[in-house]
Amino acid sequence: MAELKIKAMEKCDLCEKEAKIRIPYGPHRFCVEHFNTFFENRVRKNIRTNKLIKYNERVAVGVSGGKDSMVTLYLLHKIFGNRIKLEAILIDEGIKGYRDRSMQIGIDYCEQNQIPFHTVSFKSEFGIEMTDVMKKIHEDEKLGSTCSFCGVFRRHFLNMKAKAINADKLATGHNLDDEVQSIAMSLFRNDFARLARLGEDAGWRKYEEFVPRIKPLYDTPEKEIIAYAAFNGIEHYSEECCPYSWMAMRNQYRKMLNELEDSIPGSKYSILASFRNLKPLLQQHQKENASETMHCKKCGNLANAEICSVCSQLERITNVSKIVQTESKSLKKKNSLTCVETKGM
């Protein structure tokens, strides 16, 4: 959880109440009430300053049932109420015992708060589930990690469903930690095209085929999201992290950046600020060097190459001739990990 280790009877910075949370980069000490105000004001400022949402817009929220998406859904419902048309999209990747349980939390919240919701499953759309992909990877480790497939498919289905319901915006639960990790990964991979697309409103070019993606929690630290959910009783799935997340290269970047933040509080915000200053230059470079958009030869969707990333990944899976029944020893994880353990919190 967020930094809750404070001295006995330490007072809130803004009142005489006992502080319930200490935030190192301030440093700040807040009671629950003033932490909530601090937290919500930052989200409101992000939405207002970056013009992420307008009144009467239809806003779809990608909901997994985890802390980030549930806090995003909760806050948009609290901040805007009936002034926007809020709907949820839940993607079932087909990971039994994990996604079905987390999705149910999102569904229950939507039903309790009269929020329309829509579900999409990999199985019904593609005829495969992530368990099938994992088995393919056990046969051919050169396929990489499940995350590289799941991320591409999830983004595709979120956009597809958001487009189908005529959403004006598609909100995701990406937070400060996610964004800084993506910045570092893009820099270390020398992927400036991907770097230029990052930000509180993803992408630098707008297309009719894509619903604009926004990140209300873009500058909110992950630990504070955990604390906010706990203080406000926001139910979310917090047991085992995705069973396949241990394969993700992102874990290495997360560990590195968390250690930096622990040593030098505020480092993540400094990285984000540096990126924001560089972003106009990155986007200008992409505009000057971007190739013409094309359509995938297989599905007809917009693509950066002759074959889009979705069709390319499906083709890679299909080309693996068979599914083996035994797991590769080099790919087998030792035990189940909670999100707190996986994310170094």
Distance (Å, whole) CA 132 – CA 119: 20
The answer as to whether 22 is a domain residue is no
Q: Contact, 64 vs 102, CB < 8 A?
A: yes
Instruction: Please tell me the least confidently modeled range out of 132-136, 281-285, 322-326.
Output: 322-326
What confidence score (pLDDT) does residue 323 get?
Answer: 45
The answer as to whether 78 is a domain residue is yes
Asked whether the predicted pLDDT for residue 238 surpasses 60, the reply is yes
Report if pTM > 0.85. yes
What confidence score (pLDDT) does residue 217 get?
Answer: 98
**Encoded tokens for 271:** 């990285």
Instruction: Please tell me the least confidently modeled range out of 29-33, 86-90, 133-137.
Output: 133-137
Mean per-residue pLDDT, 223-240: 94
The answer as to whether 35 is a domain residue is no
Pick the residue with more confidence: 89 or 318? 89
Asked whether the predicted pLDDT for residue 64 surpasses 60, the reply is yes
Asked whether the predicted pLDDT for residue 322 surpasses 80, the reply is no
Q: State what percent of residues in the chain have pLDDT above 90.
A: 62
- CB-based contacts of 343: which residues, under 8 Å, 6+ apart? 177, 222, 241, 254, 258
Q: List the one residue out of 316, 277, 75, 318 whose CA is nearest residue 173.
A: 75
Mean per-residue pLDDT, 23-52: 97
Asked whether the predicted pLDDT for residue 3 surpasses 70, the reply is no
Q: State what percent of residues in the chain have pLDDT above 70.
A: 90
What confidence score (pLDDT) does residue 169 get?
Answer: 96
Q: Which domain holds residue 142?
A: 43-342
The answer as to whether 15 is a domain residue is no
What confidence score (pLDDT) does residue 1 get?
Answer: 47
Q: How many distinct structural domains can be found in the chain?
A: 1
Residue 32 phi, psi dihedral angles, 5° rounding: -60, -45
Asked whether the predicted pLDDT for residue 204 surpasses 70, the reply is no
Pick the residue with more confidence: 126 or 335? 126
Residue 182 phi, psi dihedral angles, 5° rounding: -65, -40
Distance (Å, whole) CA 154 – CA 62: 9
* CATH number of domain containing 329: 3.40.50.620
The answer as to whether 236 is a domain residue is yes
Q: List the one residue out of 240, 234, 289, 244 whose CA is nearest residue 39.
A: 234
pLDDT, tens digit, 9 for 90 and up, residues 288-306: 777 777 888 888 888 878 8
What confidence score (pLDDT) does residue 43 get?
Answer: 98
**Encoded tokens for 45:** 């400022």
The answer as to whether 245 is a domain residue is yes
Pick the residue with more confidence: 225 or 142? 225
The answer as to whether 294 is a domain residue is yes
The answer as to whether 29 is a domain residue is no
Asked whether the predicted pLDDT for residue 330 surpasses 70, the reply is no
Q: List the one residue out of 176, 155, 72, 157 whose CA is nearest residue 115.
A: 72
